[in-house]
């Protein structure tokens, strides 16, 4: 019985870690997307200003 409890706990901890990593990756991807959009907007703005 104790072995199964340990296996279940390990599985729950593993899933929690994977979920945390997925969440962190999603946050980083969202941040990079916002940065890229800002850079593109600035480039378009500067090109319009020159023309």
| DSSP per-residue letters across 1-51 | -HHHHHHHHHHHHHHHHHHHHHHHHHHHHHHHHHHHHHHHHHHHHHHHHH-
Average pLDDT over every residue of 35-46 = 95
Task: Say how far apart CA 39 and CA 33 lie, in whole Å.
Answer: 10
Please write the tens of the pLDDT for every residue from 3-28: 999 999 999 999 999 999 999 999 99
Integer-rounded Cα radius of gyration of the chain: 22
12 by DSSP, 3-state: which? helix
Greatest distance between any 2 Cα atoms in the chain: 75
* pTM (predicted TM-score): 0.61
Q: What confidence score (pLDDT) does residue 49 get?
A: 81
């Amino acid at each position: 019985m104790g072995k199964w409890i340990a296996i279940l706990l390990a599985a729950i901890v593993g899933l929690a870690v994977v979920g945390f990593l997925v969440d962190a990756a999603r946050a980083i991807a969202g941040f990079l997307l916002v940065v890229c959009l800002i850079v593109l907007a600035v480039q378009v703005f500067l090109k319009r200003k020159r023309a």
